[in-house]
Amino acid sequence: MGRLGELEPVPRKSTVEIVSAELRSAIMYGSLAPGAQLGEADLAARLGISRGPLREAMQRLVQEGLLHSEPHRGLFVITLDEGDVEDVYLSRLAIERAACTLVMARNRGEALARLTTALDALVEAARQRDRVAMSDADQAFHEVLVSAAGSPRLERMARTLLVETRMCLNALQETYPEPEELVDEHRRLVDAIGDGEEERLLRLIEEHMTDSIERLRV
């Protein structure tokens, strides 16, 4: 680690990382809809890249589970049924419970500061009653929660699950909680961290996920 104030090289993302992020975002927001087939030529032209980095990026998303391959047909965006929805939230519960435990043991103060900022963004989106902005802020809050645990592996697993969560919400937007309810759920999580109440925090994160499963049942 360099001395304070010393200039150091800035990490640069590779083309494959950038393309992976673009595809992940397109799936998350529904631009690449569930079940859609990905055409290499069309995507390469739209992204302004050669097919090599695109293929590698697409394979990353296959490994993440956001794309699947069908023999002799190509790559397709996954679709999620009711069983998948439940599995997504139960998997998120396992990851976020672990993250909460680490946060409380390691760096509660930093997590509290970062999550308070994330909660402020959620409050503002709820005030405007902007569903897309609320979903963005909701997702960002949970990304911060896992990131604050300091585990790159938990963070990596959570990233895919949060994209799948967004796919669920895109399909079932009418089940999304009311703005005030959404803010209150997340404020209670922040308060539990601030109060140093690990048991309460773990109970709240479990309720948050299981309540989401019930809302999203079709």
What percentage of residues in the chain have a pLDDT greater than 90?
A: 66
Q: What is the pLDDT of residue 72?
A: 87
Q: What is the pLDDT of residue 218?
A: 54
Written as six digits, the tokens of 197 are: 């109440």
Whether 156 and 63 have beta carbons less than 8 Å apart is answered as no
For residue 63, report the phi and psi dihedrals to the nearest 5 degrees.
Answer: -65, -35
pTM of the predicted protein model: 0.80
Spatial neighbors of 195 by CB under 8 A, at least 6 apart, are none
CA distance 91 to 158: 9
Radius of gyration of the chain (CA): 19
> Using one digit for the tens of pLDDT, what is the confidence trace for 55-96?
999 999 999 999 999 998 999 999 888 888 899 999 999 999
> Using one digit for the tens of pLDDT, what is the confidence trace for 11-35?
667 888 899 999 998 998 888 999 9
At 1, is the pLDDT very low, low, confident or very high (cuts 50, 70, 90)? very low
Spatial neighbors of 18 by CB under 8 A, at least 6 apart, are none
Q: What is the pLDDT of residue 196?
A: 96
Domains (range + CATH), the chain: 15-77 (1.10.10.10), 82-216 (1.20.120.530)
At 9, is the pLDDT very low, low, confident or very high (cuts 50, 70, 90)? low
Worst-scoring range by mean pLDDT, 100-109, 111-120, 128-137, 138-147? Answer: 128-137
Which sign does the torsion angle of CA 138, 144, 146, 149 carry? Answer: negative
Helix (H) or strand (E) holding 83: helix 82-106
Whether 132 and 94 have beta carbons less than 8 Å apart is answered as no
